[in-house]
């Protein structure tokens, strides 16, 4: 699956996970069940999903050494989360009741085509079954006209409960957008329905919804399909990073440690082997980084201004998992393989968000490095990055999976 198709069709974390599953199956991966005993073999390729919104895939190498190399990204993006099925009456058409999911740039989602997407739950053969869903029509959120709000260009504070409700027309409920009967409940979102496009005179910029962090998800999954490690290479795509990762399918849960323990048991390895596999391996936590903005360079660090098109970004901050040792290990790998990289330090007056690496490295006591692709307009409905950086990220992931770091501290 090409990146453009992945971005277009991965409307929610559920759809992104489903697309990852399709890519893995196409490349010969076997789906596992957490409840069963696992029969794993050298050279085997496997994956497991949780909550339809998180996926962990792994490749068993020749086991000439035993270590875990873990590349991780997140499947969710900022959006509008639907509150129940009941609509709000309006003279110009009913409106959808929403709340903000993640740190969305509010004005960016107005006046663009949107879709309702997610999953619905129905009874099927005496079981509650979740089904992926997306509306086959668009909705939108009209702005207040300039003539009725002439101070709008001087800045406006939005009321989420009033200003950001999509128009549903004469629909009777949110569920009436779908051709499914007897929906019991649902996890639904209103998301941008804009196709990825290239801009600039040479088409050097990729612009799309959900670049953060679906480009990273696509890179870790597609790179895993072609790796040939000595140990065990693992791709983790977690849900709910945008709201703190404190869910059963998030990076702060026991999801990954349990999967690693089951791998260890299936390969007849000891507890000491498990500990050493964590000690010798590395975590690559991948999430996009802020490029220097053409209109606001003052928002970047004084000395280190990350530029689009200049390669992988190694992210340094107290809120990231990177330290001098893990950064040095990764830089040696990048230099040896002629992959360009940049160091990112945040403007000291601004606050960084946390990362997946911070959570998983603390759970597993592993060395970890946070990296990403530089981009503009992070958390906007439409984000921008330079397409050549995507190639650098995919090459980085390919090399990472096949590298034995032999970390020992």
Three-state SS for 9-46 is HCCCHHHHHHHHHHHHHHCCCEECCCCCCCCCCCCCEE
> Alpha carbon of 233 to those of 13, 60, 62, 266, 344: distances in Å?
23, 7, 11, 16, 26
Q: What is the C-alpha to C-alpha distance for residues 340 and 307, in angstroms, rounded to an integer?
A: 12
State the Cα torsion 54-208-104-317 to the nearest 10°: 70
Residues in the chain, total? 409
Instruction: Render pLDDT for 185-208 as a digit per residue (tens, 0 to 9).
Output: 999 999 999 999 999 999 999 999
pTM above 0.95, yes or no: yes
Confidence at 150, pLDDT banded by 50, 70, 90: confident
CA-nearest of 263, 226, 235, 229 to 26 is 226
- 290: Cβ contacts below 8 Å, ≥ 6 apart: 299, 300, 306, 344, 346, 374, 375, 376, 378
The token duo for 101 is: 């999911």
Residue-averaged pLDDT of the chain: 95
Does the pLDDT at position 409 exceed 70? no
8 Å CB contact between 65 and 230: yes
Q: What is the CATH number of domain 3-77+209-401?
A: 3.40.630.10
Instruction: Render pLDDT for 287-329 as a digit per residue (tens, 0 to 9).
Output: 999 999 999 999 899 998 999 999 999 999 999 999 999 999 9
Identify the residue whose tokens are 């903005």: 293
The token duo for 361 is: 């490295």
Q: Among 41-50, 139-148, 181-190, 375-384, name the one with the lowest average pLDDT.
A: 139-148
Which regions of the chain carry the CATH code 2.30.250.10?
Answer: 86-193
Instruction: Render pLDDT for 325-366 as a digit per residue (tens, 0 to 9).
Output: 999 999 999 999 999 999 999 999 988 878 999 999 999 999
Q: What is the C-alpha to C-alpha distance for residues 318 and 26, in angstroms, rounded to an integer?
A: 40
The answer to whether the peptide bond before residue 188 is cis (omega within 30 degrees of 0) is: no
Q: Superfamily for 86-193?
A: Aminopeptidase i, Domain 2 (2.30.250.10)
Confidence at 149, pLDDT banded by 50, 70, 90: confident
Query: E strand or H helix at 121, and its extent?
Result: strand 114-124
Does the pLDDT at position 269 exceed 70? yes
CA-nearest of 53, 12, 44, 10 to 237 is 53
DSSP annotation of 108 reads: G
Instruction: Render pLDDT for 122-148 as a digit per residue (tens, 0 to 9).
Output: 999 889 999 999 999 999 999 988 888
Which regions of the chain carry the CATH code 3.40.630.10?
Answer: 3-77+209-401
The residue among 397 and 155 whose pLDDT is bigger is 397
- Looking at residues 262-271, what average pLDDT do you find? 97
3-class DSSP assignment, residue 248: coil
């Amino acid at each position: 699956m090409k990146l453009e198709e992945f971005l277009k069709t991965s409307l929610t974390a559920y759809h992104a996970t489903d697309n990852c599953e399709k890519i893995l199956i196409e490349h010969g991966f076997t789906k596992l069940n957490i409840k069963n005993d696992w029969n794993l073999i050298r050279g085997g390729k496997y994956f497991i999903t949780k909550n339809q919104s998180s996926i962990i895939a792994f490749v068993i190498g020749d086991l000439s050494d035993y270590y875990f190399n873990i590349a991780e990204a997140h499947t969710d993006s900022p959006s509008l989360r639907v509150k129940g099925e009941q609509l709000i009456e309006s003279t110009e058409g009913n409106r959808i009741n929403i709340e903000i999911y993640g740190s969305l740039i509010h004005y960016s989602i107005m006046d663009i085509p949107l879709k309702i997407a997610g999953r619905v739950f129905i009874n099927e053969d005496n079981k509650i079954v979740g089904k992926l869903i997306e509306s086959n029509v668009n909705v939108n959120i009209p702005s207040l006209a300039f003539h009725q709000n002439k101070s709008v260009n001087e800045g406006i504070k939005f009321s989420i409960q009033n200003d950001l409700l999509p128009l549903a027309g004469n629909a009777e409920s949110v569920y009436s957008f779908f051709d499914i009967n007897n929906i019991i409940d649902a996890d639904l979102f209103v998301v941008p329905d804009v196709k990825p496009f290239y801009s600039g005179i040479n088409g050097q910029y990729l612009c799309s919804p959900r670049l953060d962090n679906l480009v990273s998800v696509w890179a870790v999954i597609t790179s895993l399909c072609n790796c040939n490690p000595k140990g065990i290479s693992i791709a983790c795509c977690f849900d709910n990073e945008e709201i703190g990762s404190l869910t059963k399918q998030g990076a702060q849960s026991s999801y990954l440690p349990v999967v690693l323990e089951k791998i260890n048991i299936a390969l007849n390895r000891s507890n000491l082997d498990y500990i050493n596999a964590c000690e010798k391996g590395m975590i690559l936590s991948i999430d996009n980084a802020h490029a220097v903005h053409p209109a606001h360079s003052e928002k970047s660090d004084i000395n280190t201004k990350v530029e689009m098109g200049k390669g992988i970004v190694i992210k340094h901050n107290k809120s990231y998992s990177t330290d001098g040792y893990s950064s040095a290990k990764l830089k040696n790998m990048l230099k040896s393989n002629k992959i360009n990289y940049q160091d990112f330090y945040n403007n000291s007056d601004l606050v960084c968000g946390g990362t997946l690496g911070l959570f998983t490295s603390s759970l597993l006591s592993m060395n970890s490095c946070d990296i990403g692709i530089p981009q503009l307009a992070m958390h906007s409905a439409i984000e921008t990055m330079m397409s050549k950086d995507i190639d650098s990220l995919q090459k980085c992931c390919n090399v990472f999976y096949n590298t034995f770091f032999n970390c020992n501290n």
